[in-house]
Amino acid sequence: MYIDRIFQSVKALANTDGRGNFKPSTFNLHLYNSILEKFEGYVYDINQEVNRENRGLINGGLENIPDKIRQKVAHFLKSGTITHASGLYALPEDLRYFDTIVDGTDNMFETCKDMNEFNIIKSVNAAAQYPIYIKIGTNIKVAPSTITGNLIIYYLRNPLYPKWTFTVVDNAELFNPSAGDFQDVDMHPSEEDDLVIRVCQKFGISLKEPDLQASMQNQEQIEFNQNKST
């Protein structure tokens, strides 16, 4: 499992650093904060790489860095139906960032930066073919007011909170992915090494690249031996 590989790597490095064991709950918290850091950095990374691409500094295909970042972002892309009630549409609870809102005929809604802009556009544009919206708390208000049907929202959701679940055997915590509240790492698998580094830093571990490589190789050997014995 993705989360157990990170857990075992951090544990091995913590022991190497003389810090001993740590609580799984603390590990889960540090891992979640590391995931949020990576998530929030994606938008900045895309803008930076697109600027480089526009200057002709990036090739296409597998070398296209912006596309690779977009693939990581797409892991969190989600769609849902929102319904009209009391003049507003309630937003999904797991929404973090908007992508697109469309109606039943694929008309795309344009966002307004404030209520003043919303009212100005609404007053001069009453066509349902050019709808607008503004976010108000956990809802959106749309115009024209004739729009009351269900809408489809595409958005980036919040990352799920990771949970390394375990069973205690002889006073030792053994990984148990069968637990009902287990949650694996909710992020593109390519981020594994960076998440290990970030979690270690939150535990106060000064990590160097050779340390990480040695830990990962050691973990792979342990998993190989376990699989071989079963």
pLDDT tens for the chain, 230 residues long, are: 799 999 999 998 887 655 667 899 999 999 999 999 999 988 777 766 555 554 454 444 444 566 788 888 889 999 999 999 999 999 999 999 999 999 988 889 999 999 999 999 988 876 677 899 999 999 999 999 889 999 999 999 999 999 999 999 988 899 999 999 999 999 999 999 999 999 999 998 876 655 555 555 555 555 545 555 55
* Per-position b or e across 19-34, b if 16+ CB within 10 A of its CB: eeeeeeeebbebbbeb
The pLDDT score that the predictor gives to residue 57 is 46
Q: What is the pLDDT of residue 171?
A: 85
Calpha distance 141→118 (Å, rounded): 9
pLDDT at 23: 92
pLDDT of 62:
42
> What's the pLDDT at 61?
46
CB 154 within 8 A of CB 79: yes
Two tokens at 50? Answer: 């697109």
pLDDT value of position 115 = 94
Residue ranges of the domains in the chain?
A: 2-55+160-229, 77-157
Could you tell me whether strands 88-90 and 139-143 are parallel, antiparallel, or unpaired per DSSP bridges? antiparallel
- In angstroms, rounded to a whole number, what is the distance separating the alpha carbons of residues 139 and 76? 21
Specify the pTM: 0.79
